[in-house]
Amino acid sequence: MGQEAFSLEGKTALITGGGTGIGLGIAKEFINAKAKVIITGRREDVLKNACEALGENAYYVVADLSLLDTIPALVTDIESEFGSINILVNNAGIHLKKWAQETTDEEFLKIIQTNLLSVFALTREVAKGMLERKSGSIILISSMAGLFGIDRVSAYGTSKTALIGLMNNLVTEYSRDNVRINCIAPGWINSDMFLNAINQDQERKQKITNRIALPDFGKPEDIGNAAVYLSSQAGRYVTGVVLPVDGGATVNF
């Protein structure tokens, strides 16, 4: 097939939380692969700036995915305006760094609502068209915290582990109609938010650095390239996979 196997030309991708960080890195690589990209988020100014940076073929829709009852209409509106969604990347999520004993029920539920329930609701709605067309790629963005235990992220880690379970079960239902679903588990990826957080906790920074096998933190584009592969013809026989993009952190001691 050659390089054309990695092309997303003619495909429309919806990327949640696509205005910053990993979501923006995925959007950049999808644009480079010639996809039409729609990014969502809650802050219009951030989305508008991201689309200006992404250039032609990038569009945005303001949405709060934690409002589950709005999701069916959101998907209908997006497909009415931009056409069928061929690729869905569930990237949007929120974080909570807190000891388990200090985490309230309300805080835990908020994480689950955004990081798991909204992902399921959006996936279900987008999959309706994919299943009818018998074609589609869905990517869930999990985390290192979904693969092994990390202190002070019990709610977040649980939500990211649950995404892997969701993937496993949807594979059994979606595969017969050629809709593939995979997880990417990013490692520690360079972003302003990440660097600000770890620079305030040198002990944790050293622990993270020791865990990574490769010499440096990852880049958002590293996650984007993995997403391009999983969504392209090159990945046509790949489904039900959890792909760590982590510099070897899951196996390094």
> Is the pLDDT higher at 1 or at 100?
100
Instruction: Please check the confidence at residue 46 and state whether its pLDDT lies above 70.
Output: yes
Q: Please tell me the distance from the alpha carbon of residue 92 to that of residue 90, in angstroms, as a whole number.
A: 6
Is residue 94 within 8 A of residue 114, CB to CB? The reply is yes
Q: What whole-number percentage of the chain has pLDDT above 90? A: 91
Which two structure tokens, joined as six digits, stand for 122? 């959006």
Those residues whose C-beta lies under 8 Å from the C-beta of residue 96, and which sit 6 or more positions away, are 103, 107, 110, 111, 153, 155, 156
3-state helix vs strand vs coil in the chain, percent to 5: 55, 15, 30
Instruction: Please check the confidence at residue 137 and state whether its pLDDT lies above 90.
Output: yes
CATH number of 2-240: 3.40.50.720
Q: What is the DSSP letter of 14?
A: E
**Mean of the per-residue pLDDT values for the chain?**
95
Q: Which band of pLDDT confidence, cut at 50, 70 and 90, is reported for residue 140?
A: very high
Which two structure tokens, joined as six digits, stand for 215? 């010499």
**CA-to-CA separations, 239 to 126, 128, 140, 173, 178, in angstroms, rounded:** 17, 18, 12, 12, 10
SS3 (DSSP) at 136: strand
> Is the pLDDT higher at 23 or at 195?
23
Amino acid (1-letter code) at residue 197:
A
Sign of the CA dihedral running 170, 173, 174, 176: positive
* Catalytic site includes residue 59: no
Considering 156, 174, 229, 237, which one is annotated as catalytic?
A: 156
In this predicted model, what pLDDT tens digit does every residue of 62-117 receive, in sequence order? 999 999 999 999 999 999 999 999 999 999 999 999 999 999 999 999 999 999 99
Q: Give the pLDDT score at 1.
A: 61
